[in-house]
Amino acid sequence: MKKSLTFGLTLVSALALSQPVLADTLAKVKQSGSITMGIRESSYPLSYLDDKQQPIGYHIDICNRIVDTVKTKLDLKTLKVAHQAVTSQNRIPLVTNGTVDLECGSTTNNAARQNQVAFAPTVFITNVRMAVKKSSGITSLSQLNGKPVATTTGTTSVQLMRAHEKGKGIDFKEVYGKDHADSFLMLETDRAVAFVMDDNLLAGLIVTSKNPSEYAIVGETLNIEPIAIMIRKDDPQFQGLVNTVIKDLAKSGEIDKLYAKWFMSPIPPKSANMNFPMSDTLKTALNNPTDAPAEQFNVKK
């Protein structure tokens, strides 16, 4: 497969083209001989850039398996794979308008988003918490009153903070990073006292930072979130192919090997090991693959 890296689509142009297109991804790919993967630049270790500016990660590996299956199914001798950088803010428009065929980032599957796009079966589950500098002494949302808190534009973290019992009535100042690396930089440079995000992304940013020992992931779990590969809605043939690939990876145990590769082993660019064991919730989800939204994972019992 020939691969190329394409960047530079602005949010303005993305939104201008954000009208949904008729979904027939396999026909589109066969006609063009090309498929476009949406990738993230700093969603460790799901989807990020290595020191050669090439996309790598747990979700990238899974998406490459999907691409290989597409090539085989369509009986293509060659299949060009383009990589389009996406952000939390533009990822859904770029899927619905046909720019991105397979979004391989760090997107939460929730009920509201299912009205716009479809999701593959869940291959990762995260808890939304916050990263802080240990020297701050912060361990709870209740300590954030009057303080700047970073999150990434286009994510749901702030809403989750305000909805949480210990976050109600807390007057924190929201500061937004354009991507996860930018948000972490705000914490690193003391422009924010906390960065609220998925715990795996926080762990990845911490372990690849200049001084990992300075940081800790603390506080209440704001939400349990299934993270999944995103595709266009109402495209049963392509969704069926994607679902089959992931179910086969789960059944064969291959997905466990991919998880160990990215979460329990040294990873580029610094050969850092996240030491992030698979949760029991994810093990259950992989035993019975599902595209259930976050709301079903957060039902109070």
Domain end call among 197, 225, 253: 225
CB 185 within 8 A of CB 160: no
pLDDT at 155: 84
Q: For residue 142, give the DSSP letter.
A: G
pLDDT at 16: 41
74 and 18 fall within a common domain: yes
Of 151, 38, 52, 54, whose CA–CA distance to 95 is shortest? 38
d(CA 118, CA 121) in angstroms, rounded, equals 10
Domain end call among 171, 205, 225: 225
Q: Please, what is the angle between helix 199-207 and helix 180-188, to 10°?
A: 60
48 and 149 fall within a common domain: no
pLDDT at 189: 97
119 and 7 fall within a common domain: yes
Structural Rg of the chain based on CA atoms: 19
Look up residue 144 and give its two tokens: 């954030």
132 and 208 fall within a common domain: yes
14 and 93 fall within a common domain: yes
Q: State the average pLDDT over residues 173-196.
A: 95
213 and 240 fall within a common domain: no
Output the CA–CA distances (angstroms, integers) from residue 79 to 36, 48, 161, 183, 229, in the order listed: 10, 22, 43, 36, 20
Look up residue 173 and give its two tokens: 């100042």
- Look at strands 124-133 and 173-177 and give their pairing: unpaired
**For residue 4, is pLDDT > 80?**
no
86 and 25 fall within a common domain: yes
d(CA 78, CA 76) in angstroms, rounded, equals 5
Domain end call among 183, 201, 225: 225
Query: Which CATH number characterizes residue 151's domain?
Result: 3.40.190.10
> pLDDT tens across 258-270, in order?
999 999 999 998 8
pLDDT band for 247, please (50, 70, 90 cuts). Answer: very high
Boundaries of domain holding 17: 3-123+228-297
pLDDT at 168: 74
114 and 163 fall within a common domain: no
d(CA 74, CA 76) in angstroms, rounded, equals 5
pLDDT band for 3, please (50, 70, 90 cuts). Answer: very low
d(CA 31, CA 237) in angstroms, rounded, equals 16
How many domains in the chain? 2
> pLDDT tens across 48-81, in order?
999 999 999 999 999 999 999 999 999 999 999 9
81 and 150 fall within a common domain: no
Please, what's the largest Cα pairwise distance for the chain?
60
d(CA 281, CA 249) in angstroms, rounded, equals 18
218 and 275 fall within a common domain: no
163 and 78 fall within a common domain: no
112 and 251 fall within a common domain: yes
pLDDT at 8: 45
